[in-house]
């Protein structure tokens, strides 16, 4: 689960990470009031959306007057911000963050992620902050500093010092950097985060005193969904308006679902089989509309929920049910499919391939139902059938639209 920048900053600040003063606003009037409340002569107005690349898309603006703050806020509210990470549909802006502007001397990068190859947490730093870290990792991997954290002891002080020196931080700021790095690590650990990113981590200069300090100018945090039951205060930060509606619908019903851009809906048990099924659909010339794993113990009720989740996507033209039953039972799945046709107005072609436990009973249930369901013996056959069915349905849809 992702949270907004202002929420990530509030969480990190609780652990001692310095952040600029600011506040979230929900109208241009509130934005102006917040700027006056903060004082100063310059402010940064930031669109709060779950997507990187906001600055290039016009979602981050520096303002030098209260009138400009109001005008920028008015232009951003209700806008669909399209960034490199949002997809072509963009993200709708419902809230803004107004914070005091900082005098930046240098920009660095700091992040903590779960490294699956080492099965450890990895702390990442770079002297080049304010850029897309994915692009930097691909074009210049040597620009990244990586420190693996041993889970038995955590992120130690000497590792934080090594990172500070590797980033070229001045000796006088090293103690502050060590405190910031370890504070971010404690937030990651205590809150069961999946990612913490401070980009840019800025070395700022006070215009009056000339004093320098470290400040998290931007922050991102994401959390392990499986651990949210331990952090109800984090779960309450969820912003459904920023999520894929299909994924939210499925997640609320306990289904593992990832929305894709195709037109063939998939209901499968097991992540490995699901990946293989998506590959077979692509090989047959089709485009999957989703990844949906109903799990190992799918009851008829769960199958019905999965049907509803797949059909929640209006782009689906045909559906493939691919079940290899071990813990599962094919007769349960077959009964769920029949129940789904009774409970839902299923108007798309459905292809079913069953194998494993109680497969004969499951096939008998589908055959006896009299429903317009195509069955297949193998995954390859099922993929060919569903791709052909989707193509026919798409042609029929175009003919219908053309006749209106």
Catalytic residue among 97, 197, 257, 384: 197
The annotation status of 199 as a binding-site residue, yes or no, is: yes
The annotation status of 53 as a binding-site residue, yes or no, is: yes
- Measured CA to CA, the distance from residue 356 to residue 213 in angstroms comes to 63
The annotation status of 305 as a binding-site residue, yes or no, is: no
- Measured CA to CA, the distance from residue 265 to residue 312 in angstroms comes to 10
The annotation status of 103 as a binding-site residue, yes or no, is: no
Tokens of 62: 């520096």
Catalytic residue among 6, 109, 185, 257: 109
Cβ atoms of 12 and 184 within 8 Å: the answer is yes
Cβ atoms of 26 and 241 within 8 Å: the answer is no
The length of the chain, given as a count of residues: 404
The annotation status of 40 as a binding-site residue, yes or no, is: no
Catalytic residue status for 247? no
Instruction: Say how many CA atoms lie within 13 Å of 305 toward its Cβ.
Output: 19
CA dihedral for 374, 377, 382, 384, sign (positive or negative): negative
- Measured CA to CA, the distance from residue 150 to residue 122 in angstroms comes to 9
Cβ atoms of 261 and 287 within 8 Å: the answer is yes
- Measured CA to CA, the distance from residue 137 to residue 93 in angstroms comes to 29
The annotation status of 54 as a binding-site residue, yes or no, is: yes
CB contact set of 333 (below 8 Å; sequence gap of 6+): 269, 298, 300, 303, 321, 323, 325, 354, 362
Catalytic residue status for 381? no
Peptide bond into 200 cis (omega under 30): yes
Tokens of 236: 């309450």
CB contact set of 36 (below 8 Å; sequence gap of 6+): 66
The annotation status of 296 as a binding-site residue, yes or no, is: no
The annotation status of 55 as a binding-site residue, yes or no, is: yes
- Would you list which residues are annotated within the binding site for substrate? 269
Active site residues: 109, 197
- Would you list which residues are annotated within the binding site for Mg(2+)? 199, 218
- Would you list which residues are annotated within the binding site for ATP? 46, 53-55, 99, 102, 107
- Would you list which residues are annotated within the binding site? 46, 53-55, 99, 102, 107, 199, 218, 269
């Amino acid at each position: 689960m992702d949270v907004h920048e202002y929420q990530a900053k509030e969480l990190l600040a609780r652990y001692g990470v310095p952040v600029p003063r600011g506040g979230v606003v929900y109208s241009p009037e509130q934005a102006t009031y917040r700027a006056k409340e903060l004082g100063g002569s310059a402010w940064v107005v930031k669109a709060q959306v779950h997507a990187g690349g906001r600055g290039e898309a016009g979602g981050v603006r520096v303002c030098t007057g209260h009138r400009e703050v109001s005008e920028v806020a008015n232009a951003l509210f209700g806008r669909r911000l399209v960034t490199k990470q949002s997809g072509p549909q963009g993200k709708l802006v419902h809230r803004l963050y107004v914070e005091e502007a900082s005098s930046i001397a240098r920009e660095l990068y700091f992040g903590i992620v779960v490294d699956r190859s080492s099965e450890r947490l990895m702390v990442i730093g770079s002297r080049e902050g304010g850029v897309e870290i994915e692009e930097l990792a691909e074009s210049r991997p040597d620009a990244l500093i990586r420190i693996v954290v041993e889970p038995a002891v955590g992120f130690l002080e000497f590792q934080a010092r090594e990172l500070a020196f590797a980033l070229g931080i001045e000796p006088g700021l090293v103690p502050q950097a060590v405190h910031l790095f370890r504070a971010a690590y404690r937030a990651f650990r205590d809150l069961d985060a999946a990612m913490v990113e401070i980009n840019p981590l800025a070395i700022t200069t006070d215009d009056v005193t000339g004093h320098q300090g470290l400040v998290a100018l931007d922050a991102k945090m994401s959390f392990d969904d499986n651990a949210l039951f331990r952090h109800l205060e984090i779960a309450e930060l969820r912003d459904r308006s920023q999520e894929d509606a299909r994924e939210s619908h499925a997640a609320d019903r306990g289904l593992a679902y990832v929305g894709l851009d195709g037109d063939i809906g998939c209901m499968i048990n097991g992540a490995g089989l699901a990946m293989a099924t998506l590959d077979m659909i692509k090989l047959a010339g089709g485009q999957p509309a989703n990844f949906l794993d109903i799990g190992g113990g799918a009851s008829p009720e769960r199958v019905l929920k999965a049907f509803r989740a797949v059909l929640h996507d209006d782009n689906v033209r045909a559906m493939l049910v691919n079940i290899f039953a071990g813990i599962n039972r094919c007769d349960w799945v077959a009964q769920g499919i029949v129940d789904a046709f009774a409970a839902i107005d299923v108007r798309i072609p459905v292809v079913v391939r069953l194998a494993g436990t109680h497969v004969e009973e499951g096939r008998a249930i589908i055959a006896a139902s009299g429903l317009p369901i195509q069955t297949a013996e193998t995954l390859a056959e099922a993929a060919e059938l569903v791709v052909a069915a989707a193509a026919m349905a798409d042609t029929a849809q175009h003919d219908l639209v053309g006749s209106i």
